[in-house]
Amino acid sequence: MIMHIDMDAFFASVEQRDRPELKGKPLVVGGDSGRGVVAAASYEARRYGIHSAMPMFMAKQRCPGLVIVSSRKGRYGEVSRSVMATLRRYSPVVEQVSIDEAYLDAAGCGRLYGPPEAMAKTIKADIRASVALTCSIGVAPLKFLAKIASDMQKPDGLTIVDPERVPGFIARLPVEKVPGVGAHARERLRQMGIATLGDVRTINRSVLAHRLGRFGHRLVDLAHGRDPSAVTPHSPTKSISTERTLPADTRDHDQLNQHLLAQSQEVGRQLRRQGFLARTITLKLKDANFRQTTRSLTLDHPSQSSETVYRTAALLLASQPLDKAVRLIGVGASALIADTTPRQACLFPDMDPAGSGWEKVDRAVDRIAERFGRSAVCRGTLALGNEGKGKRDD
């Protein structure tokens, strides 16, 4: 049996836990600007029809008394690590798929923790005791069914799909509940008269493959109770990135560079925290017409320096003609290797393209932030805000 553990309204629940005065109030986590979106909504807010990815102005219209809290990624990451550590005490085979959800393979755990239902209840109680938060768990013999089951009795739910129930459960399952079936696929399936996975069994595999491509083959397999997906404990990080929708569209390079600087600090911090060097830096832009552009540059020397990330991203921005105002900007680092990988020393330290001097500064800043908080120290340009527009603190 496979378990899917999903924390309930995770970001919002962490905020309500850390600030008891917010308990019971409709709360969302996200940006409060005119372009902000809801990152997470408490269950009190969901009663107003508010959900993640909803524009913030719409959420405020639906609930005039809505409490809006800025995101604290570091705090959520800290709580997430505690949750994952708890799960790994029950099974060595845990696959974390996001900051607030994971799969756990319960095979061979029965002698220690009893049948799946008892084990799931113990895990829920342990998570509640360790982080004072609730989770919902789905238990099933197939990975995709475990994920679906975890969403059936939220919050603080537990749904078990025993092996003998699988055929009937699948037959009645609406196709929109299947992971991977988005609005486009759902409309195509509706046009074919398919509303449930049971209906999929009546359609020839080649017809579904023609209409849905490779996903059509997977849908047929799921409809017949075949899901070879296994719980994979180690999913290596392939990239680290951050992006932001701007308060207002702009073509001002100085403003865009300031956003790049802040984002590069975060990407560099994550590279160092996770122990990676990046070979490739990517700039992402989305214009006012939602047209997306990405540009990448491969470094001669892999680096985890925030300064190197910034200078590379700024170079990519400078080479990009801004025909239309930018609505979203982001920075990413990819082609990652472990920072324990030997690197060739530069013969001329003053010209070191990997930014080893800046890496020393970055690590010192990281230590200060760990001890006194991330707001304790920052780049002068970022602290100056508009007064520092167009300036660099080189």
Question: Which residue in 15, 44, 95, 101 is the catalytic one?
Answer: 101
Quote the CA–CA distance of 54 and 68 in Å, as a whole number. Answer: 13
Calculate the dihedral angle through the C-alpha atoms of 338, 339, 345, 346, rounding to the nearest 10 degrees.
100
Q: Residues 199, 206: contact at Cβ < 8 Å?
A: no
Quote the CA–CA distance of 15 and 37 in Å, as a whole number. Answer: 17
Within a 10 A sphere around the Cβ of 205, how many other Cβ atoms?
14
SS3 240: strand
**Dihedral class, residue 180 (left if φ above 0, else alpha if ψ from -120 to 50, else beta):** left
Q: Residues 282, 332: contact at Cβ < 8 Å?
A: yes
Side-chain-facing half-sphere of 251: CA atoms under 13 Å: 7
Residue 74's nearest CA partner among 115, 22, 18, 117 is 18
One-letter identity of residue 219? L
Ligand-binding site membership of 100 (annotated): yes
101 catalytically annotated? yes
List, by residue number, the catalytic residues: 101
**Which residues are known binding-site members for Mg(2+)?**
6, 100
**Which residues are known binding-site members?**
6, 100
